[in-house]
Amino acid sequence: MKKFILLLLLSFPIVCSAQWKVGIGASGLVNRYFYEDESYFESKYDIGYSGNIYLERTFTPVFGVSIEPSYLVKGGKVTYQGVDFKSKTGYASVPVLANLHFLRIFTLAFGPEFSTKLTQEYSTSDPAVAAKEFYNNEFKDYEVSALAGLYFKILPKMDFGLRYSFAITNSGKFRPEDFSSENIKENAAKGKYAQFMLRIIFN
């Protein structure tokens, strides 16, 4: 949480130097981790959520730049030897997005997303099996992703958006503990998620 507060504080000096659009948003998302080798297990989609502050500086009627400090929870699910292993990873995330506004009701946004890990939880469908049996190594503390989205104005102060994000850096490396064969190497994974967002703009 301290990392998230620090990211917010670093954002506000920039805001004070110009007039910005200010808002808040919330979303549900569907996430999946794509591994280098999925021959011995099955990676599946799982749900997550986020909440964010929206700050945009509009330079022309059709172009602006926004930062969106967020708390983002990504779900991951793997079926391995008949057991479901789940992860929930909480991030402090700051997308920095270029926004193209057109027809007064649509906004196309794209840019990088910088995330730092805050929390990590594991669970399993079999109480007799430790969740860490599959997630032998932790998720990485930092992640860089590319993000793109399309927003549609449903009310004068409210937008609905669809966004897609994919990790550029590895989310982590994983190797089941019970694989002693040298042929089973650490397995790098990258996360991808689709996000369904509702955003309220105050000014």
Q: Is residue 8 over pLDDT 60?
A: no
pTM of the predicted protein model: 0.82
For residue 112, the domain's CATH number is 2.40.160.20
Kindly state whether residue 77 falls inside one of the protein's structural domains.
Answer: yes
Where b means 16+ CB within 10 Å and e means fewer, 37-57 reads eeeebebeebebebebbbbbb
Kindly state whether residue 16 falls inside one of the protein's structural domains.
Answer: no
Kindly state whether residue 52 falls inside one of the protein's structural domains.
Answer: yes
Confidence of residue 10 (pLDDT cuts 50, 70, 90): low
Domain count, the chain: 1
Confidence of residue 135 (pLDDT cuts 50, 70, 90): low
Higher pLDDT, 10 or 42: 42
Confidence of residue 31 (pLDDT cuts 50, 70, 90): very high
Least confident range from 5-14, 34-43, 98-107: namely 5-14
In the prediction, which pLDDT does 17 show? 44
Residue 94's domain comprises: 2-11+22-201
Share of the chain above pLDDT 90, in %: 57
In the prediction, which pLDDT does 37 show? 82
Kindly state whether residue 17 falls inside one of the protein's structural domains.
Answer: no
Average pLDDT, the chain: 85
Kindly state whether residue 185 falls inside one of the protein's structural domains.
Answer: yes
Angstrom distance (rounded) from CA 203 to CA 21:
6
Kindly state whether residue 7 falls inside one of the protein's structural domains.
Answer: yes
